[in-house]
Amino acid sequence: MIELINVTKEYQMGDTVVAALRGVTSSIGKGEFVSIVGPSGSGKSTLMNLIGCLDTPTHGRYVLAGEAVEKLSIDRLAEVRNTTIGFVFQTFNLLPRLTALENVEVPLVYAGVPRAQRREVARAMLERVGLPDRARHKPNELSGGQRQRVAIARALASKPAVLLADEPTGALDSVTGEEIMELFHTLHSEGSTIVLVTHEPELARRAERIIRMHDGEVV
Amino acid sequence: MRGITQWENTRISVRSIAGSPIRSALTALGVMIGVAAVIILVALGRGAQTQVESSLNSLGANLLIVYSGEPRGTALVRSNTANIRPTLSEDDLAMIRALPPELVLLSAPASTANVQLKFENRNIAASVVGTGPEYPEIRNFRPIYGSFFTEIDVERRSAVVLLGAQVYRDLFDPGRDPVGESVRINGVSYRVLGVMEEKGSAAQDSSVLIPISTFQRRVSGDSNYAMISIQAASSEVMREVQSVIEQQILRLHRLPSMEYADFYIANQMDLLSTVAGVAGTFTLLLASIAGISLVVGGVGIMNIMLVSVTERTREIGVRMALGARPRDITAQFLTEAVVLAIGGGIIGIALGITGSWVAMNMARTAAEVSIFSVVAAFGFSVLIGLFFGGYPAWRASRLDPIEALRYE
Ligand SMILES: Nc1ncnc2c1ncn2[C@@H]1O[C@H](COP(=O)(O)OP(=O)(O)OP(=O)(O)O)[C@@H](O)[C@H]1O
Ligand SMILES: [Mg+2]
C-alpha cells in the first residue's frame, strides 16, 4: 500500500539546509495499523505529510497504491488526497461555519458527488463514529471528542485506502483520547489501513507495529 | 465525474457572504454606489441631451435660415437682426420658392426693426417682424388666440398685427380681448389679429408680427429682406438644400465664393449635431466619472478579499488537504468576488433607477434611464469582480497546504 524508498525531505532555511527526513525506507501494508513514535522534531509530521501527499519528497521514491507520488501533478496530488487519503489532525480542523454533516461532506463536494448522495454518505459516517444526533451542530457546539469524531467521519467519507492521524488525541483528555483510540481500533478491525503518530507509548504499543523515528531517520 | 461543480462553488460563496453580512455589504458598497452613479449620471446626461434637442426642434422642423450679412456665431436664431443691412432680394426669395418640393416645402422672408408700440396710454419699445403667412408653420410659432394674417393681407399691405405674449401682457390688462383693437406702431394704427403663443424666448415674446409688404412700405422702406426662413422637405436633404441655395444666391449676387458672401445660412442639422455631440461628450464624461467610482468599488472588493484570504488561510489548507485543487480554490474566491460584485451591481441598479425616478419626479430634472447603461453597469460589475477578485483568488490558490494548515 505505502512504500517509501530512501526518502529525504530538506527545507531551505536561508543559507542552511535543514534535513527533516534523512533517507527513510519503510513500507506499510494494506489493512495494517502502524504507529509512528519519536521525539519532537524527529520528522514524524513531515513523514505523515509526505505519506498524505500534502508534500513531495526532495529525494527518494514514494509509491502509494501502485502510483509513484513524486511524479504526480499538483492536481493529481489533490485528487489522491481526496480519494485515497483520509486525514485526521491534532486540532480537528473542522470548518467553523459548516455543520457537522456539512463538514463531513466537504471531501465529497470536491469529488463531485451529487448532493443527495453526499448527504446520505455523510449521515452514515456520522453514525459510524457514534454521532448520528449531532449532524446539525456547528463545531463550536461540540466537545473536543465529538469534534474529533466528526473529523474522523470526514476522513472516512471518501472511503480512503489509508487513514492518517497525526496526534489525534493530542488535544483531548485521556478518557476522550481513549474513546477515539477505540474508534480507530474498530475501524481497523473493519479493514481500514491506519497510520497514527503519537507521543504516548501506551497508545503506540496497541498498534500492530511501531515505527520509531529519531532525527529524521527510522531506527 | 470528478471535480467540484460551479454550482457548489457558488453555494460556498453565498454561504460565506451570508456568514458575515455587514462586512459583505460594506465590501459591495463601492460597486453599489458606482453602478447607481453610472445609471443616474447617464440618465441625467441623456435627459439633458433630449431636452436640448427637443427645444431645438421646437424652433421648427428641418429649419434653415438665410441671414443677411457676415456669419455670426453658431446660433440658429439670432436674437437681434434689426441693425443688419438687408442683402437678400426678392429674386433670392423667388429662386428659393422655385426649388422643387422634394427640397423645400415652405419659405418666408422676414425683416425686423425696433419700434415704439402704443395702445391707449401705454407705450413700450418692441421689435416688429415683417414676414409672410408661412412663418408660423416654418418657425413652429403660432397664434394662441385669434388668427395669423393671410396671403391676402400681404398682397393688400394690410395694417394688421399679431402680438407676442409679452407685448400683449405689457399693453393689455389681463383677460382683455385684444382682437379688433388698434395698436399704433411708430404712430401708424394696426388692427390686432391675435396673440402668439409664449415661446419663453424674449426675442419672440417681445416682438409683433406684421405682413412683410406692410413692413417694407411703412417701416423700413427697403425692398430687401434681413432673412429668409426655410422648411426643408426632410432632415436628409437639409445639407443639399443649403448648398443649392448658397450656390444660387452667390450666382444671383455675382459673388465668386462663400468667402465673399454677404449672406450665410444657419442649418438646424448642424446645430443639432453640435449639440448632440456636446451632450454626448457630457454624458460620456459623467459616465466615466461614475466608471471611476466603479473601479474604486472594485479596489474595495480586492482589499477585503485579500484580508479574507489571509483570515481564511487555515480553511484553505483544510480544503486542500481534503482534495481541493488550486483551481478549485481560485474558483471559490473568484466566485465570491463576482457574487459580491453582482450583488452590489443589482442593488446599485435598483438604487440608480430609483434615483433617476426621484430626479425626474421629485426634483423635476430631465432623466432618461438607458437600458444600455443598466446592462453595461451590470456587465462592468461582473468584470470588476473577476478582475479585482482575480489576484486574491490566485494568491489563495498558491498557498502551500502544509503552511496553510499550520497558520494560526
Ligand atoms: N516548513 C519547514 N521549514 C523548515 N523546517 C521545517 C519545516 N517543517 C519542519 N521542519 C523541520 O523539520 C524537522 C521535523 O519536523 P516535524 O514537524 O516533522 O517534527 P515532529 O516529529 O512532527 O515533531 P513533533 O513531535 O513536535 O510534532 C524539525 O526540525 C523542523 O524544524
Ligand atoms: Mg508533529
pLDDT at residue number B175: 87
Residue B294: band (very low, low, confident or very high) from pLDDT cuts 50, 70, 90: confident
Maximum mean pLDDT: which of A100-109, A173-182, B84-93: A100-109
The per-residue pLDDT of chain A, averaged, comes to 93
pLDDT at residue number B76: 67
The per-residue pLDDT of chain B, averaged, comes to 89
Residue B346: band (very low, low, confident or very high) from pLDDT cuts 50, 70, 90: very high
HSE-CB at B226 with a 13 A cutoff on CA atoms is 22
What distance in Å separates the CA atoms of residue B63 and residue B105, rounded to the nearest whole number? 10
Q: Among the bound ligands, name the one nearest to the CA of residue A14.
A: 1
Class of domain A2-218: alpha beta
Please report, to the nearest 10 degrees, the dihedral formed by the alpha carbons of residues B305, B321, A115, B385 taken in order. 20
How large is the ipTM?
Answer: 0.95
Question: Using an 8 Å Cβ cutoff, are B185 and B119 in contact?
Answer: no
Taking 50 as the threshold, does the pLDDT of residue B1 lie above it? no
Question: Using an 8 Å Cβ cutoff, are A52 and B321 in contact?
Answer: yes
Distance B221 CA to ligand 2 centre (A): 113
Q: B16: which chain A residues are within 8 Å (Cβ-Cβ)?
A: 97
B334: CB partners within 8 A, 6+ apart: B385, B386, B389, B390, B393
Nearest CA in chain B to A157: B322
| SS3 state of residue A167 | coil
Distance A19 CA to ligand 1 centre (A): 9
Nearest by CB to residue A112, choosing from B2, B401, B402, is B2
Span between the terminal Cα atoms of chain B, in Å: 35
pLDDT at residue number A168: 94
Mean pLDDT (whole number) for A83-90: 94
The ligand 1 site (C-beta within 6 Å) comprises A 11, 13, 18, 20, 38, 40-46
What distance in Å separates the CA atoms of residue A60 and residue A74, rounded to the nearest whole number? 18
Which numbered atom of ligand 1 lies nearest the CA of B403?
1
Per-domain residue ranges of chain A = 2-218
What distance in Å separates the CA atoms of residue B27 and residue B137, rounded to the nearest whole number? 58
| SS3 state of residue A150 | helix
Q: Is the Cβ pair A78, B325 closer than 8 Å?
A: yes
pLDDT at residue number A188: 94
The whole-angstrom distance between B322's CA and the closest CA on chain A is 5
Containing H/E element for A181?
A: helix A174-189
Q: Which residue in the block uniquely carries the three cell numbers 422637405?
A: B233
Percent of chain B exceeding pLDDT 90 equals 57
Q: Is the Cβ pair A110, B315 closer than 8 Å?
A: no
pLDDT at residue number B325: 94
Residue nearest to atom 14 of ligand 1 (CA): A43
Mean pLDDT (whole number) for B349-374: 85
pLDDT at residue number B378: 87
The whole-angstrom distance between B336's CA and the closest CA on chain A is 16
The whole-angstrom distance between A177's CA and the closest CA on chain B is 22
pLDDT at residue number B73: 61
Q: Is the Cβ pair B4, A87 closer than 8 Å?
A: no
Amino acid at A136: R
Q: Is the Cβ pair A110, B4 closer than 8 Å?
A: yes
Which numbered atom of ligand 1 lies nearest the CA of A44?
21
DSSP 8-class letter at B140: T
Distance A40 CA to ligand 1 centre (A): 8
Residue B43: band (very low, low, confident or very high) from pLDDT cuts 50, 70, 90: confident
Nearest by CB to residue A82, choosing from B5, B314, B323, is B323
Determine what percent of chain A falls in helix, strand and coil, rounding each to the nearest 5. 40, 25, 30
B37: CB partners within 8 A, 6+ apart: B289, B290, B293, B294, B352
Residue B38: band (very low, low, confident or very high) from pLDDT cuts 50, 70, 90: confident
A158 interfacial to chain B (CB closer than 8 Å): yes
What does the pLDDT look like over B151-207, one tens digit per residue? 999 999 999 999 999 999 999 999 889 999 999 998 899 999 999 999 887 888 999
Of A94, A167, A204, A182, nearest to A130 (Cα)? A182
A153 interfacial to chain B (CB closer than 8 Å): no
Mean pLDDT (whole number) for A66-84: 92
Taking 80 as the threshold, does the pLDDT of residue B271 lie above it? no
DSSP 8-class letter at B215: I
| SS3 state of residue A90 | coil
Question: Using an 8 Å Cβ cutoff, are B270 and B278 in contact?
Answer: no
Instruction: Indicate the burial class of A13 (C-beta count within 10 angstroms; 0-12, 13-18, 19 or more).
Output: exposed
Helices and strands in chain B, H and E counts: 14, 10
DSSP 8-class letter at A71: G
Question: Using an 8 Å Cβ cutoff, are A78 and B330 in contact?
Answer: no
Of A48, A66, A142, nearest to A104 (Cα)? A142
Q: A55: which chain B residues are within 8 Å (Cβ-Cβ)?
A: 401-402
E strands, B156-298, in order: 160-163, 182-185, 188-196, 207-211, 227-232, 263-267
Containing H/E element for B151?
A: helix B151-156
pLDDT at residue number A194: 95
Residue nearest to atom 8 of ligand 1 (CA): A46
Mean pLDDT (whole number) for B279-283: 80
Of B100, B57, B31, nearest to B303 (Cα)? B31
Q: Provide the grid cell at B355.
A: 434615483
What distance in Å separates the CA atoms of residue B289 and residue B345, rounded to the nearest whole number? 17
Taking 80 as the threshold, does the pLDDT of residue B26 lie above it? yes
The whole-angstrom distance between A81's CA and the closest CA on chain B is 5
B200: CB partners within 8 A, 6+ apart: none
What does the pLDDT look like over A14-46, one tens digit per residue? 899 999 999 999 999 999 999 999 999 999 999
Containing H/E element for A163?
A: strand A162-166
Nearest CA in chain A to B332: A110
| SS3 state of residue A95 | coil
Mean pLDDT (whole number) for A141-146: 94
What distance in Å separates the CA atoms of residue B204 and residue B140, rounded to the nearest whole number? 11
What distance in Å separates the CA atoms of residue B367 and residue B61, rounded to the nearest whole number? 24
Taking 80 as the threshold, does the pLDDT of residue A134 lie above it? yes
User: How far is CA B350 from each of CA A192, B21, B354, B381, rounded to the nearest angstrom?
Assistant: 56, 19, 6, 14
Mean pLDDT (whole number) for B17-32: 90
Taking 60 as the threshold, does the pLDDT of residue B143 lie above it? yes
Could you tell me where the DSSP H helices lie in B221-267?
A: 238-252
CA B94 to chain centre: 36
Nearest by CB to residue A97, choosing from B19, B326, B402, is B19
pTM higher than 0.95, yes or no?
no
pLDDT at residue number B278: 81
Comparing A133-142, A187-196, B268-277, B353-362, which segment has the lowest mean pLDDT? B268-277
Taking 90 as the threshold, does the pLDDT of residue B287 lie above it? no
